[in-house]
Structure 1
Amino acid sequence: MEPAEKIKVALVDDHKLFRKGMVELVNNFSGYHVIWEANNGRELIQKFQTETAPDIVLLDINMPEMDGYETAAWLRQNYPKVLVLTLSMYDHEEAIIKMLRAGAKGHILKDADPQELKTALQALIKKGFYYSELVSGTLLNSLSRDPENNKKAADLIKLNERESEFLKLACTELTYKEIADIMCLAPRTIDGYREALFDKLQVKSRIGLVLYAIKTGHVVIN
């Protein structure tokens, strides 16, 4: 049964042929409708001034004039209720971490299966975030957009002072070797901290650490 009102989606990407295909794909998903498109962040800002605000923005990272990082940060500052899903060819941790810190709520590769995109859109609306296999289901289920629930989740997992320090540094663009130098520890010791936190927080990657830190307030996005 079709919902009374469809989820409004905006698509921001500088490749017109790719956008055309994405518009058709999203519009074929039950309950979703692309209301407008933009070539880059600057055009997105103009659209927000003249068009209806979307519920979700599908956002590329590499764009001319105003890239995905700047655009996500602008949306977080001006339209915090709009959910940003990064849609990019970038799959390295540094880019994803930077987008998370800019305010993105999820990341999906452009060559992903269409079903994954549908799953991501559904997760954004239901849970407020989507990170695929980068984060375990246990952590996803424990965190939500509700600050009280996030605080409860943080209270259940106690981190010592050094673990908290490492977690905050892991949420930057520093390499693990640079983190080791800052903490005056051997790289092998840092590897131990990383693996211990992966196990304690039930995450699978550095992206999972970042998500946990942001959701529980260990890292505050300004």
Structure 2
Amino acid sequence: MQPVSITKVALVDDHKLFRKGMLELINGFSTYTVSLEAENGRDFTRKLFPENIPDIVLLDISMPVMDGFETAAWLQEHHPQVKILALSMKNDEETVLRMLQCGVDGYVLKNADPSELRMALEALEVNGSYYAGSVREVLKRDLQNKKAPKAELTEREVEFLRLACTELPYKSFAPLLHVSPRVVESTREALFRKLDVVSRTGLVLYAIREGIFKVV
């Protein structure tokens, strides 16, 4: 019998009572455990060490010292393999889109039912993303308002875009595409130019808009 895999979750929120409630809730989910708590992004980065890197970070947006935007961007740069689930009372278009640009993989409102939180955690692990209904509407409106660049994509570029929507780092694309790491880099740069984007988030948003990747 194989040992059960436990998913490590970090809680980053400046409200201690909320954190304690979330800790009890998540620890009550089978195969999940809260491995780290922090009251803001700066506190989180100071407590983060190679031996306690979480699988998922539940991240508040409005925090003193280092807020959710800064923390998400820092994680995207230093630990891109870590999934980020934004937890907030805000679902206005500006906040949602800014968090997406900072690299979050999911977005759930704080007044959501506990069952939705469990669903979001599972979706992050299985599909790589999760967005609450109201947040999906914001995302859809934004994508519909943007004109897609005219670009003819090769089969390799389409597959690259699908992989870009997963949690895999770029270095893992080579064996899956049956190409060398150098070709992966050249494909990425070619897509940046074709689609007029400058980041992986831009590639992901294009893939979602064009139906290459489906948002859960």
TM-score class, shorter: 0.5 to 0.7
Aligned equivalents of 1:63, 1:94: Cα separation in 2:
17
Does the C-alpha gap of structure 1 residues 215 and 14 become closer, same or farther in structure 2, counting only changes over 3 Å?
Answer: same
Q: Give the secondary-structure state (helix, strand or coil) at the position aligned to 2:52.
A: coil
* CA displacement 1:99-147 (0-9 Å, x = unmatched): 01001001101010000000000000001110132449xx9xxxxxx73
Does the C-alpha gap of structure 1 residues 80 and 215 become closer, same or farther in structure 2, counting only changes over 3 Å?
Answer: farther
CA-based RMSD: 3.0
Aligned to 2:58: 58
Aligned to 2:205: 212
* CA displacement 1:61-118 (0-9 Å, x = unmatched): 0000000000000000000000000001111111010001001001101010000000
The yes-or-no answer on 1:115 pairing with 2:115 is yes
AA at the equivalent of 2:131: Y
Matches within 5 A, 1:43-192: 43-49=43-49, 52-133=52-133, 134-135=135-136, 147-149=160-162
Q: Is the 8 A contact 2:41 2:68 kept in 1?
A: yes
Q: Give the secondary-structure state (helix, strand or coil) at the position aligned to 1:103.
A: coil
Q: Is the 8 A contact 2:57 2:84 kept in 1?
A: yes
Q: Is the 8 A contact 2:161 2:204 kept in 1?
A: no
Aligned equivalents of 1:148, 1:113: Cα separation in 2:
33
Unaligned 5+ residue runs, structure 2? 141-158, 165-194, 211-216
Aligned to 1:172: none
Q: Is the 8 A contact 1:150 1:215 kept in 2?
A: no
Q: Is the 8 A contact 1:15 1:39 kept in 2?
A: yes
| Equivalent residues, number | 155
Unaligned 5+ residue runs, structure 1? 140-145, 152-163, 169-208, 218-222
Does the C-alpha gap of structure 1 residues 44 and 214 become closer, same or farther in structure 2, counting only changes over 3 Å?
Answer: farther
TM-score (norm 1): 0.62
Shift of 1:39: 0.3
Aligned equivalents of 2:10, 2:112: Cα separation in 1:
19
Does the C-alpha gap of structure 1 residues 60 and 3 become closer, same or farther in structure 2, counting only changes over 3 Å?
Answer: farther
Aligned to 2:190: none
Shift of 1:51: 5.4
Shift of 1:215: 5.6
